[in-house]
Amino acid sequence: MAVSASTLEIPSFVAAADLLRRMFLELERLGLENSRLHFAMLHRTYAIRQRLDKLSGVVELLKSAVAPLQVSDLSRRAKGLIAQLSDELEEISHEAEDEFEWIEVPHV
């Protein structure tokens, strides 16, 4: 396989997919402790899981892709999924952060 910028990105795609999955799992865990966050996640969980699985599949296909056009197309798809997931998880994180802003921490 010829080395191209896209094939050199594969480790970054693997790391991004792993990080996004860990972020999602952490938000799910936090949702168990916060009913508002749980409710916000409830409507998004299925779609996020689908995109995470799709990203993992695209990354696996990239590892075996040989044709430059195929690598380019898969890289573009991976970047799009990473951007979508990143934006959505960031939005949920901000919602969770907003949920806790109204709680006053007692001063000791």
pLDDT at 88: 93
pLDDT at 23 over 90: yes
- In contact, 62 and 55? CB cutoff 8 Å: no
pLDDT, tens digit, 9 for 90 and up, residues 25-62: 998 898 888 877 887 788 899 999 999 999 999 999 98
pLDDT at 57: 95
> Any idea where the domains of the chain sit in the sequence?
5-94
- In contact, 85 and 52? CB cutoff 8 Å: yes
Q: Look up the pTM and report it.
A: 0.79
pLDDT at 1: 46
Cα dihedral sign, 101-106-107-108: negative
Region 84-91 average pLDDT: 93
